[in-house]
């Protein structure tokens, strides 16, 4: 038996093509998939507010984007000479408060416009474990290295996750009823919570997704976590930290994704774009040689050919 048939994947009834507009949110694995889509020049936006791991925090941000709820002074705080926001990733933190708020609210405006247009919204959940700020009683997306005594750690119940998923879908459908959702669970192992606790966390996510989205014609589930656990069940498919998938594993899961979620009519263009990308990364031994100049002319012709078909593509 072909080991790749262990995890059956139903082909998408709403396949991605080069006219599709995609928004990806969630854990660092969402970034991995986003990089693949961007490499092949699909119209993609990835994590406008940075990496977000838990369903409740993703729901909060979608609520802000859909309903255009601006961040205010009450939503930010100063810590270690930077202004932070508990709802977004620390990569967005800023030494200037006004610049920080302006940037966050500009992202809300941009994201609102994107949500009205996206054809596919892919959400990758990383964990059911969350930290609740003791003073505000709010679940945070990122602790920003604030002392742990300021938070209480808790495991989201299946019911809480189900509610969050359903709220997220309803929010997006409020302004974009035709949007197709692709849900997945990150294969990254969050073992700082413990090995058993990591499995419990993933189990809550799996259970909640199975019961929340399978009756919805606009939603589907891509089994990236299950592929990692059952088709790539070997530590050689992990990076050196033994937590994140290796590049080989990421490439494998990507192939499983595009085989089932990307329209077959686009495979030829994807191959052409891949060829161009490889050529662009080529480092010539002698840049002034006649052969290299011919290579550059040929490459430019290939790029122009792609742009005639897909004017939005930029290399």
pLDDT digits (tens, 9 = 90+) for 183-206: 999 999 988 889 999 999 999 999
pLDDT at residue 5 is higher than 80: no
Sequence-ordered list of residues with C-beta below 8 angstroms from that of 174, at least 6 positions apart, any chain:
66
User: Does residue 288 share a domain with residue 225?
Assistant: no
Q: How many domains in the chain?
A: 2
Positive or negative CA dihedral for 29, 166, 198, 132? positive
* 257 and 278 both lie in a single domain: no
For residue range 55-90, list pLDDT tens digits in order: 999 999 999 999 999 999 999 999 999 999 999 999
Is residue 99 domain-shared with residue 120, that is, in the same domain? yes
Q: 284 pLDDT band (50/70/90 cuts)? A: confident
Evaluate if residue 214 carries a pLDDT over 90: no
Domain that holds residue 230: 9-262
Structure confidence at residue 217 as a pLDDT band (50, 70, 90): confident
Q: Read off the pLDDT of each residue in 232-257 and give the average, rounded to a whole number.
A: 92
Contact partners, residue 110, CB within 8 Å, separation at least 6? 48
Confidence label for 6 from pLDDT (cuts 50, 70 and 90): confident
Asked whether residue 194 is assigned to any structural domain, the reply reads yes
Q: State the pLDDT confidence band at 1, using cuts at 50, 70 and 90.
A: very low
Mean of pLDDT values over 232-251: 90
Closest to 220 (Cα-Cα) out of 111, 115, 121, 128: 121
Phi and psi dihedrals of 20, rounded to 5? -70, 150
Averaged pLDDT, 90-95: 98
- Residue 1 inside a domain? The answer is no
Answer yes or no: do 108 and 220 share one domain. yes
Q: What is the pLDDT of residue 248?
A: 94
DSSP 6: S
Q: What is the mean pLDDT of the chain?
A: 94
Task: Report whether pLDDT(100) > 60.
Answer: yes
Q: Please state, in angstroms and rounded to a whole number, the distance separating the CA atoms of residues 135 and 132.
A: 9
Give the tokens for residue 207.
Answer: 């259970």
Q: Which residues contact 166 (CB under 8 A, 6 or more apart)?
A: 212
User: Where do runs of H (alpha helix) occur along 125-240?
Assistant: 158-175, 195-213, 224-226
Q: What is the pLDDT of residue 282?
A: 86
- Global confidence as pTM: 0.94
Do 254 and 273 fall into the same domain?
no
What is the model's pLDDT at position 77? Answer: 98
Residue 3, in any domain of the structure: no
């Amino acid at each position: 038996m072909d080991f790749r048939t262990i995890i059956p994947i139903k082909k998408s009834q709403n396949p991605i093509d080069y006219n599709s507009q995609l928004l990806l949110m969630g854990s660092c694995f969402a970034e991995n998939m986003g990089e693949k889509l961007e490499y092949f020049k699909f119209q993609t936006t990835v994590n406008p507010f940075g990496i977000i791991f838990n369903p409740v925090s993703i729901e909060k941000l979608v609520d802000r984007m859909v309903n255009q709820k601006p961040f205010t002074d009450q939503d930010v705080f100063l810590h270690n000479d930077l202004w932070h926001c508990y709802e977004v990733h620390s990569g967005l933190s800023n030494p200037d408060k006004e610049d920080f708020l302006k940037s966050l609210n500009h992202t809300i405006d941009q994201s609102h416009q994107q949500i009205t247009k996206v054809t596919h919204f892919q959400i990758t959940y990383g964990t059911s474990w969350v930290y609740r700020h003791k003073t505000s009683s709010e679940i945070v997306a990122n602790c920003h290295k604030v002392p742990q005594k300021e938070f209480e750690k808790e495991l989201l119940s299946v019911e809480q996750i189900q509610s969050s998923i359903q709220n997220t879908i309803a929010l997006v459908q409020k302004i974009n009823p035709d949007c197709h959702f692709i849900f997945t669970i990150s294969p990254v192992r969050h073992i700082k919570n413990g090995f058993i606790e990591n499995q419990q966390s993933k189990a809550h996510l799996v259970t909640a997704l199975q019961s929340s989205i399978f009756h919805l014609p606009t939603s589907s589930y891509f089994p990236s976590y299950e592929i990692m656990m059952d088709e790539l069940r070997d530590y050689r498919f992990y990076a050196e930290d033994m937590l994140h998938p290796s590049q080989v594993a990421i490439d494998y899961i990507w192939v499983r994704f595009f085989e089932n979620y990307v329209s077959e009519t686009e495979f030829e263009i994807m191959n052409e774009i891949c060829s161009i990308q490889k050529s662009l990364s080529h480092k010539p031994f002698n840049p002034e040689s006649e052969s290299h100049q011919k290579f550059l002319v040929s490459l430019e012709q290939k790029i122009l050919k792609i742009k005639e078909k897909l004017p939005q593509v930029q290399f």
